[in-house]
Amino acid sequence: MNNECNQLIVTGTQPQLLHVVCNDLAPYVPCTVSAFSEYTFNNDTAPPIMAYVMSDLSKKHHYNIAMLKHKGCVHLTVFAEHATVPTMCELLRSHVDDIELLPLHPAQCERLQDVILPRIGCDSDAYTHTSLDIQSLLSVQCAINFEEIVQLVEEHFCAKLTLAKVASQLNLSPSRVSHLFKDVCGIGFRHYLTCRRLEEAETLLANPRANITSVAFELGFSSPSHFCKAFKETFGLTPRSYMAGNRQFSLDERFTRYQRLRLTILPNIIRLAHPVVPAHRTQMHSVG
């Protein structure tokens, strides 16, 4: 482990996934795969700059991540095939420094390059960097409009929310809202709303006392059958199977795009949109 200070150490318990991530990162940062057992069965400290790769956050992965931080990892990036916003918050509470969704896109690798190369003392001139700032793709006014829409959905996604109601509340045309979603997200407003509800469903169904019918109506679905169908189409398993502990997800492309939007694109839009959107613009007094 002599070179651990000048390269990113990629570890985890799923060898095939580890090598896929390392191969994707190699053109952007110096990295190498290291078996997690190296940090489990000896008293060595963990390298300062590491990446932990997992399919989904389980108790085992949570324990492993905590162990790496305890053993001295200073900057830890987690790569996950599936991570909801509640999962992301849980990881951040575990002092994880960064979270990236798999499969990796070039823009993600380039952002990681900016973060990791200075930390490992590597010459950035040796690596290509061609990323576009989101400001070159989206005007400030568009960013403000989009942040307003997302804030509104975040506050009222369980209500009987429609594109027309959101547009009216923000004094925008329905076509404007529709085009913003399709241009920025790659998915429509209705799909975004459904994905946000289903993301919340994961949290609610994890409660041992959860009831599928109650969760369906609480999240604004028209019926339990509609909710169950949407859940199965999106995650590849039924709500009942999820409640029984099954986490073998098979995400559809729409939800993958939604996750990438939530975890990578939205933070950039929010930074571009500030100063903060006026609070009165996102206060809906009647959405039913």
Distance, first Cα to last Cα, the chain: 60
Q: According to the model, what pLDDT value does residue 130 have?
A: 46
SS3 218: helix
The domain ranges of the chain are 4-126, 140-282
Q: Give the pLDDT band (50/70/90) at residue 38.
A: confident
Q: How far is CA 10 from CA 15, 46, 185, in A?
A: 10, 12, 30
Q: CATH code for 140-282?
A: 1.10.10.60
Residue 269's closest CA among 88, 74, 153, 139? 139
Q: What is the pLDDT of residues 91-117, one digit of tens each?
A: 877 789 888 888 888 878 888 888 899
Query: Who contacts 43 (Cβ-Cβ below 8 Å, separation ≥6)?
Result: none
The verdict on whether omega for the bond into residue 174 sits within 30 degrees of 0, i.e. cis, is no
Cβ(76)–Cβ(99) below 8 Å: no
pLDDT recorded at residue 79: 94
- pTM greater than 0.75: no
Please list the residues that pair with 80 across neighbouring strands.
54, 101
Superfamily of the domain at 4-126? Response regulator (3.40.50.2300)
Per-residue pLDDT reduced to its tens digit, 189-248: 999 999 999 999 988 998 999 999 999 999 999 999 999 999 999 999 999 999 998 888
pLDDT digits over 114-156, tens only? 889 989 887 655 555 544 444 444 565 676 777 788 888 888 9
pLDDT of residue 183: 75
Does the pLDDT at position 40 exceed 90?
no
Highest mean pLDDT, choosing among 28-42, 55-69, 258-272: 55-69
- Rounded CA separation 145/138 (Å): 11
Residue 281 has pLDDT above 50, yes or no: no
